[in-house]
Amino acid sequence: MAFHLMVCCLVCVTILCVCHSADCAPSAPSWPPHPSPLEPTNTCNTSSEVLKLCQRCAVKSQSKIVYPLCCDGMEEAREWCNEYLNFGVHYSPS
């Protein structure tokens, strides 16, 4: 009987410790918010150089997702397009 009482007390103390140390979810996220996909971040509308780069890249790569990623500057697509279009082009100093 004493052993049963000791086990019950130990279980109760363990449950109380777990409940006391458990935290609730934060009311606001601690990370910075991502830009909304509905917000206009399309730099092709403001820069003709970016527009030309992204259009050429979309045509040459024949990819449907390259143009929006390049215009929005997402996932380093613009840098990839620049490297893709200039692959094998070596500029020699004059």
Is 35 within the bounds of a domain?
A: no
Q: What angle do CA 86, 90, 94 make, to 5 degrees?
A: 130
pTM for the predicted model, two decimal places: 0.52
The domain total for the chain is 1
Is 10 within the bounds of a domain?
A: no
Does an H or E element contain 21, and which?
Answer: helix 2-21
| Residue pointed to by tokens 């997402």 | 74
Domain boundaries, position 48 = 40-87
pLDDT digits (tens, 9 = 90+) for 13-66: 888 777 776 666 667 767 766 666 555 567 888 899 999 999 999 999 999 999
78 Cα distance to chain centroid: 16
Is 80 within the bounds of a domain?
A: yes
CB 41 within 8 A of CB 72: yes
Is 75 within the bounds of a domain?
A: yes
Is 15 within the bounds of a domain?
A: no
